[in-house]
Amino acid sequence: MPQDEDISEDLSRTLCNCLALRQASRHVTQFYDQALAPSGIRTTQYSILQRVHRHGPRTVNELAEQLVMDPSTLTHNLRPLLKDGLVVLQVGTDRRTRVVALTPEGKAVHRRARALWLEAQAGFEKVFGGDEAAALRELMFKVIRSDLSSGGTPRHKP
């Protein structure tokens, strides 16, 4: 008769690539969210702040594409950042678009969160090893670039 540990391990395993990726994503997100908690933001919010910090103001559509996210999902994730005054939406060049930009408070929160993120990143790599973590990121990048509907041929680079 299997022991409890064997049963729980079997229940968490799956042959479904989608479920395995989602489970791993949730597990890693929980780890990073816990690490970022003292900054007052979550992983999804940190990703937005980091992208805008690194690449400058972006339209909602550009930012959504870079984050591999639907624009409406991005808008939903922007709401708490807007409410807390960490980002602003500026009118774009054609007045129909909105550009996401960091506020001074957003830059300060990003700076605090960045230090916590670096600690989490080091912790992840301590558990899995730097080479394994780099290989995992490369594999995930290949997944993102692939067009699964046409048999896995590369598509645009986000």
- Which pLDDT score is estimated for 95? 84
- Which pLDDT score is estimated for 14? 81
- Which pLDDT score is estimated for 96? 87
As a whole number of angstroms, the distance between CA 62 and CA 36 comes to: 25
The stretch 41-53 carries a mean pLDDT of: 97
**For 97-128, how does the pLDDT look when each residue is reduced to its tens digit (9 = 90+)?**
899 999 999 999 999 999 999 999 999 999 99
Q: What is the secondary structure of 60-127 as a DSSP string?
A: HHHHHHHTT--HHHHHHHHHHHHHTTSEEEEE-TTSSSEEEEE-HHHHHHHHHHHHHHHHHHHHHHHH
* Average pLDDT for the chain: 90
Other Cβ atoms less than 10 A from the Cβ of 100: the count is 26
Residue predicted with more confidence, 31 or 3: 31
